[in-house]
Amino acid sequence: MTEEAPKPHKRRVRYSGKNPRRFDQKYKELDPEKYAQAAAHIIAKGQTPAGTHRPICVKEILEILAPKPGAICLDATLGYGGHAREIISRILPGGKLFAVDVDPVELPKTEARLRALGYGPDVFIPRKMNFAGIMALASEAGGGFDCVLADLGVSSMQLDNPERGFTYKADGPLDLRLNPERGRPVSDMLKSVTAEALEKILFDYADEPHARTIARAIKESPVPVTTTAALAKTVRERLKAAHAKLDEEIIRKSLQRTFMALRIAVNEELSVLDRFLDILPWCLKPGGRAAILTFHSGEDRRVKKSFARGEEAGIYSSIAPTPIRPSAEERHGNPRSACAKLRWAIRSAKPVQ
């Protein structure tokens, strides 16, 4: 029996130059535990290291939720686990944190990070599921949660990775699904949607002022729009041709809104949010607290109205009178927090009539 020849050592491909541009070349950013100094330098510049996520309004959320030792809590949008880590540290000993996320790519990574910190299955209970189905978790938790957090923003890991299709800054497949194992990508959706329906998506989900121009550009493209670069090129060229006076900043914002609207549509985000808001108070213990971070007006309006209806019905004893915004310092240090709004509600301790 002959021995197998040893495999030749494969050197890691190093990027050329000081600042790598491609996502997969940013090995220092993608491994912040190993290259902590490099990650800290990037954060100090007001940027987020590739493949990571910086939690928003941490101090404000902890003040609202007031997690205490022994509390049973839920992080309805686990993401990178930044908020979860802070909550767990405050509910021990005796507490439990349930956490859900639909992303099969990022969830195992976050679970591994939190397990490495010593949080076993008796403390940290993750589930791959949509947060609209948390009623079952409330039963598993023993009748409800002391506090619930939902951060509705797309994580930086999803935004930065061109393979997920969330960004127009690098070319990749036009996917935009939070769970790439379910449904169909945006590139498929664009093949079947009408120009009128697409215009409505852009206007309703992103308040896009050039919705008609963009919708027609996509549907009239001589080749199917299947990549992020192709979508960005199609939108940019049509806007410049139709509105010669538009500057690059206005076009950039239209691109952002276009990607956001398509992401909301393909993931059915607003209908999922509506379901979550309907069941949320019944997942809270009497006196339980909820905090929700939103990132665009469509989300914030829904949260505001749902909390107001709940307070009027006596389901919530009190709600946020106005949204809480990230501090000026946080907005400067983490520009991705700039559009965030935080609202809270407290479940009534009295039986609802």
Does the structural domain 58-156+270-347 have CATH classification 3.30.1340.30?
Answer: no
Whether the model pTM is above 0.95: no
Helix 228-242 / helix 211-219 crossing angle, nearest 10 deg: 120
Rounded CA gap, 100 and 118, in Å?
19
Query: What pLDDT shows up at residue 112?
Result: 95
Q: Across-strand partners of 294?
A: 341
Q: Between 43 and 207, where is the model more confident? A: 207
Kindly report the backbone phi and psi dihedral angles of residue 15, in degrees, each rounded to the nearest multiple of 5, phi listed first.
Answer: -80, 150
Q: Are 314 and 353 in contact (CB under 8 A)?
A: yes
What is the average per-residue pLDDT within 161-166? Answer: 83
CATH for 165-267, options being 1.10.3130.10, 3.20.20.70, 3.30.470.10, 1.10.150.170:
1.10.150.170
DSSP string, 290-342: EEEEE-SHHHHHHHHHHHHHHHHTTSEEEE-SS-B---HHHHHH-GGGTT-EE
State mean pLDDT over 326-346: 92
For 207, left (φ over 0), alpha (ψ -120 to 50), or beta? left
Q: Is the pLDDT of residue 42 over 60?
A: no
- Residue 136, token pair as written in the block: 């079952």
What value does the mean pLDDT take over residues 177-193?
94
Longest dimension (CA), the chain: 80
Instruction: Decide if pLDDT at 31 tops 90.
Output: no
DSSP state of 133: G
pLDDT at 161: 79
What pLDDT score does 7 carry? 61
% the chain with pLDDT above 90: 70
Segment 297-309 mean pLDDT: 96
Whether the pLDDT of residue 346 is over 80: the answer is yes
Q: What is the mean pLDDT of residues 282-305?
A: 96
Judge whether residue 305 has pLDDT over 50. yes
Write the CA distances from 141 to 73, 144, 146, 341, integer angstroms: 9, 6, 10, 28
Looking up tokens 């769970």, which residue turns up? 179
* pLDDT of residue 39 exceeding 50: no
* Domains of the chain by residue range: 58-156+270-347, 165-267
Q: Give the span between the Cα atoms of 14 and 327, in whole angstroms.
A: 38
Amino acid at 188: D
Mark 82-121 as b/e (b = at least 16 C-beta within 10 Å): bbbbbbbebbbeebbbbbbbbbebbbeebbeebeeeebee
The mean pLDDT of the chain is: 87
